[in-house]
């Protein structure tokens, strides 16, 4: 089954989401606009394997943390 969690990020509290498979724990993050420590803390808390970054569009509030997150994930 597919699960999701919305994580409000940055002072503007825009939505970043985590989606994952409950069997494999493979996950994607959608619109990592910022607050990467907060996003990664949720990934760790849920024991997820973050494998993909998805962007709905390229505005800074949705894509601002993408490069840093990609570097952190290797």
pLDDT, tens digit (0-9, with 9 covering 90-100), for 1-39? 999 999 999 998 999 999 999 999 999 999 999 999 999
Distance between CA atoms of 9 and 25, rounded to whole angstroms? 22
The HSE-up count of residue 12 (CA atoms within 13 Å, CB side) is 10
| Number of domains, the chain | 1
Domain assignment present for 71: no
Band of pLDDT at residue 74, cut at 50, 70 and 90: confident
CA 33 to chain centre: 9
Domain assignment present for 66: no
Domain assignment present for 52: yes
Host domain of residue 18 = 2-58
Q: What's the mean pLDDT in 32-60? A: 96
Distance between CA atoms of 12 and 69, rounded to whole angstroms? 19
Domain assignment present for 64: no
Band of pLDDT at residue 62, cut at 50, 70 and 90: confident
Domain assignment present for 51: yes
pTM score: 0.92
SS3 10: coil
């Amino acid at each position: 089954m597919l699960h999701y969690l919305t994580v409000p990020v940055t002072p503007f509290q825009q939505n970043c989401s985590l989606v994952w498979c409950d069997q494999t724990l493979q996950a994607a993050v959608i619109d990592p606009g910022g607050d990467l420590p907060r996003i990664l803390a949720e990934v760790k808390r849920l024991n997820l394997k973050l494998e993909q970054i998805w962007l709905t569009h390229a505005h800074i509030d949705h894509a601002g943390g993408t490069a840093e997150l990609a570097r952190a994930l290797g």
